[in-house]
A and B are shown apart, each in its own frame.
Chain A
Amino acid sequence: MTLPAGNRWKLPNLGIGLGLRTTHYRDILDSWPEVGWFEVISENYLETAGRPLHILDRIAERYPVVLHGVAMSIGSTDPLNIDYLSKLKNLKNRVKAPWVSDHLCWTGVAGKNSHDLLPMPLTAEALEHTVARVRAVQDILECPLMLENPSTYVAFAADQMSEWEFLSQLCEQADCGLLLDVNNIYVSSRNHGFNPGDYLAGIPWDRVVQFHTAGHTDNGTHCVDTHIGPVRAEVWALLGEAWHRAGGASVLLEWDAEIPDFATTWHEALRAEDAIAAWNGRV
């Protein structure tokens, strides 16, 4: 069955998928469950030629596999890492990934890597800088790059626009796509005090190729994107609305801390179907 997909590149809607985690390797290899697709953290399969890559090859033979990176550092003022991008392209070709994604963030500067998704100052200078780098990356990868909205915990005094305005202009000027993480929208809305509805209203929906959803930790004073536990009701509600606004797109559950068994994780992912069906059409 062909699922609806509203993106401008006609990239397929792969249905509901899971972030591939080592704790689930055995279940997957033993029973080949009916999962729509898997997303892998690209860096876990770069710089290795051992068993992890062997398992990824086996999984890619049976499922669509999408690459999701955490180290491109697209917003950094350090030079792009061409060696990293070259290896990423090789991995993309190896698993026949329909698209490649990373985050609107920077991970380090002056040669030092934090391995964290650090927030961008939302300034005209940062936008111009990031546009040029996204274009360069797309030329190297020879495919549109999907950028994910990160969870952020701090705002810059120099900010000149909202995150959704930044993303919208970035997509337009660099001709890239969006991986919209509805949990991150919720987490950031709590940390910065904006209305998630305003965020959704500012998204260029024909650029959205994929959704992320996940659990988070609510500390009262702030929320942290921990990818722990079930997805909260508010986040499911955001997914329902966003999915319909996009005209359909692939949905993926990320679960990274205290990961339960495969059946429980997959059951949680399938709750996306209920969220999509439950949306009442109000925008």
Chain B
Amino acid sequence: MSGTPTPVLARPAPNAGGDEELFERERASATPRATSPVSAISPVPAGASRAAPATDATLAAMQRWFMTVITDPDSVAHGLARAQRTLAGQVVVDGPSLHAAGCLSVYHFAYHARLVECLLDDFPCVNYLCGELGGEDSFEQLARAYIHAHPSRHPNLNGYGAGFAPWLRRLRRPLLHRALLADIASLEWALVEVLHAEAAPILDPQALAAIPMEKWGGLRLQPAATVRLLTTAYAVNPLYQAWRTDEPLVIPPAAVATVAVYREGYSLWRMDCSPLTAGLLRDLFAGRPLEVALARCARAGSDVPDLVPRVMEWFRTWVASGFFARIG
């Protein structure tokens, strides 16, 4: 259905995806993939002496000092200048071949590199577009600004990118194609969420078929944990698909669009939705009774010929695709 001129009438079949291994990432590891450039670390003659008496600070104070230095957005030197205001005495010492600041820069580099890599893993299309769209900000610059604004506060990195799209949207400084980049980030994050969602049982079509017709009107359907309905200011799914398949990218004009991101088994899929199908799905996911959702759909699609059989077909596709977890 992607790219069709008459999306209202098109069949809402899976149109893009099927990815399994693409999104498997080892976010946690003992070491980031990148290593610090040697040139960034200045050596010191072996046996350099200590500059000041050792601090008598507590373990907690030394740890806060250390974090201040290695998470400084600018540099170790800047971090040291800030941290030294809070602690008297020397905290770390020169190594045999490196100044103390050089030793700390290994950690300063790793802190930023690991989180930038995590965001790169989650938002590869945003990264690509940052390069292609010719804006002043590289993805790494954006990522570093996000890391500074949103330091990780969780032991697991799987959710670290959750705030990236909203943060992009709220970014105060000028950013070329900001709304589009934020929409792409929302789509990529929906894929991450669906990847990690619980593989719970989905609604059995036969169980649905066994329900007497007279009770259908009052049915409410629970959405599955493995589906997301994403409405954006730009039609980002065709753009994302073009990026995935290495086709020429055409920046779409602003036009509200909805895409369903979902998992069948362990494969990820994306399905463009017309305004009519998006509205119906939104009502169903919100827990509206079937008869209410269908009535609203009928009003919205009053000019659509053969609406009833089309709705039946959409419904069958959604159930077969695992959009619903259960009745009730």
Do A and B actually bind? yes
Contact A49 B103 (CB under 8 A): no
The reply to whether the CB of A76 lies closer than 8 angstroms to some CB of chain B is yes
> A121-141 vs B: 1/0 string, CB under 8 Å?
101011001000000000000
A166 to chain B, nearest CB (A): 13
The reply to whether the CB of A256 lies closer than 8 angstroms to some CB of chain B is yes
Q: A49-B197, A71-B156 are in contact. Are A77 and B60 (CB under 8 A)?
A: yes
Contact A47 B58 (CB under 8 A): no
The reply to whether the CB of A233 lies closer than 8 angstroms to some CB of chain B is no
Select which of B50, B89, B155, B195 is within 8 A of A51 by beta carbon: B195
Beyond A222-B95, A254-B30, 11 additional pairs, beta carbon < 8 A? A21-B26, A22-B25, A50-B263, A70-B30, A77-B58, A113-B154, A115-B114, A153-B95, A154-B104, A157-B92, A158-B54
Select which of A106, A116, A222 is within 8 A of B41 by beta carbon: A222
The reply to whether the CB of A250 lies closer than 8 angstroms to some CB of chain B is no
With a cutoff of 8 Å between Cβ atoms, the chain A residues found around residue B28 in the complex are 41-44, 70-71, 115
With a cutoff of 8 Å between Cβ atoms, the chain B residues found around residue A222 in the complex are 41, 95, 97-98, 102-103, 106
Q: How far, in angstroms, from A106 to B102 measured CA to CA in the complex? A: 20
Contact A220 B38 (CB under 8 A): yes
Contact B92 A116 (CB under 8 A): no
B130 to chain A, nearest CB (A): 23
Which of A1-9, A92-100, A223-231, A266-274 touches B?
A: A223-231
> B39-74 vs A: 1/0 string, CB under 8 Å?
001010010001001111111101110110011000
Q: A51-B266, A154-B103, A156-B92 are in contact. Are A77 and B26 (CB under 8 A)?
A: no
Select which of A52, A73, A123 is within 8 A of B155 by beta carbon: A73
The reply to whether the CB of B151 lies closer than 8 angstroms to some CB of chain A is yes
Interchain residue pairs with CB less than 8 A apart (27): A22-B21, A25-B24, A43-B28, A44-B26, A50-B196, A51-B24, A51-B195, A77-B60, A81-B155, A84-B156, A106-B63, A109-B67, A113-B153, A114-B67, A115-B157, A116-B70, A118-B66, A123-B59, A155-B93, A156-B54, A157-B50, A158-B62, A191-B95, A221-B43, A222-B102, A224-B35, A227-B29
Q: How far, in angstroms, from A112 to B151 measured CA to CA in the complex? A: 6
A48 to chain B, nearest CB (A): 4
Interface residues in chain A, defined as those with a beta carbon under 8 Å from any beta carbon in chain B? 21-22, 25-26, 41-44, 46-52, 54, 70-73, 76-77, 81, 84, 103, 106-118, 121, 123, 125-126, 129, 153-158, 191-193, 217, 219-222, 224-228, 254, 256-257
Contact B152 A41 (CB under 8 A): no
With a cutoff of 8 Å between Cβ atoms, the chain A residues found around residue B70 in the complex are 114, 116, 118
Contact B63 A48 (CB under 8 A): no
Q: How far, in angstroms, from A166 to B43 measured CA to CA in the complex? A: 28
With a cutoff of 8 Å between Cβ atoms, the chain B residues found around residue A44 in the complex are 26-28
Question: Which chain B residue shows the least CB distance to A108?
Answer: B67
Q: A22-B24, A47-B159 are in contact. Are A113 and B151 (CB under 8 A)?
A: yes
B102 to chain A, nearest CB (A): 7
Contact B102 A118 (CB under 8 A): no
Q: How far, in angstroms, from A81 to B91 measured CA to CA in the complex? A: 27
Q: A153-B103, A154-B103 are in contact. Are A109 and B64 (CB under 8 A)?
A: yes
Select which of B26, B46, B59, B71 is within 8 A of A126 by beta carbon: B59
The reply to whether the CB of B313 lies closer than 8 angstroms to some CB of chain A is no
Contact B155 A113 (CB under 8 A): yes
Q: A51-B24, A70-B28 are in contact. Are A114 and B95 (CB under 8 A)?
A: no
Question: Which chain A residue shows the least CB distance to B151?
Answer: A112
A121 to chain B, nearest CB (A): 5
With a cutoff of 8 Å between Cβ atoms, the chain B residues found around residue A193 in the complex are 46, 95-96
The reply to whether the CB of B240 lies closer than 8 angstroms to some CB of chain A is no
Q: How far, in angstroms, from A129 to B63 measured CA to CA in the complex? A: 13
Select which of B41, B67, B97, B107 is within 8 A of A112 by beta carbon: B67
Contact B199 A50 (CB under 8 A): yes
The reply to whether the CB of B31 lies closer than 8 angstroms to some CB of chain A is yes
A110 to chain B, nearest CB (A): 6
Select which of B41, B55, B67, B100 is within 8 A of A221 by beta carbon: B41
Mark out the residues of chain B between 131 and 158 whose CB falls within 8 Å of any chain A CB in the assembled complex. Answer: 151-158
The reply to whether the CB of B314 lies closer than 8 angstroms to some CB of chain A is no
Q: How far, in angstroms, from A116 to B154 measured CA to CA in the complex? A: 13
A182 to chain B, nearest CB (A): 14
Q: How far, in angstroms, from A153 to B30 measured CA to CA in the complex? A: 14
Q: A43-B157, A109-B60 are in contact. Are A155 and B21 (CB under 8 A)?
A: no
Contact A224 B36 (CB under 8 A): yes
B19 to chain A, nearest CB (A): 10
B224 to chain A, nearest CB (A): 12
With a cutoff of 8 Å between Cβ atoms, the chain A residues found around residue B92 in the complex are 154-157
With a cutoff of 8 Å between Cβ atoms, the chain B residues found around residue A110 in the complex are 64, 67
